[in-house]
Amino acid sequence: MMNKLLIERLKKLGWHHTAHQLDSLLEDASRDNVSYSAFLNTIVLQEIEYQESQQLAKRMKRAKLPYIKTIHDFDFSF
């Protein structure tokens, strides 16, 4: 019951990724005996990383580049 309420509140904050992962995150934290501050740090960090990756994907899509090339694709042999 409490998890359902927490999931609803996370979604209201816009933390959909964390809301969907909450059960497994809680199980992992309980199994590994993680401190509250470490748990909070983990979920905040994961949400930030997820949101940043989503924002980057949106910007790349809006840029309408003909193809996507990363630094790993660059030929440094010249």
Residue 77 counted as domain residue: no
Measured in degrees and rounded to the nearest 5, phi and psi for residue 13 equal -75, -10
Residue 78 counted as domain residue: no
DSSP classification of residue 74: S
Strand, helix or coil at 32? coil
Q: What is the distance between the alpha carbons of residues 21 and 63, in angstroms, rounded to a whole number?
A: 30
pTM: 0.76
How many domains, in total, are found in the chain? 1
Position 66 pLDDT exceeds 80: yes
Q: What share of the chain is helix, strand, coil (3-state, %, to 5)?
A: 75, 0, 25
Mean pLDDT, to the nearest integer, of 20-43?
Answer: 94
- Domain extent for 22: 2-67
Q: What percent of the chain has pLDDT over 70?
A: 99
Number of alpha carbons in the 13 Å side-chain half-sphere of residue 41: 5
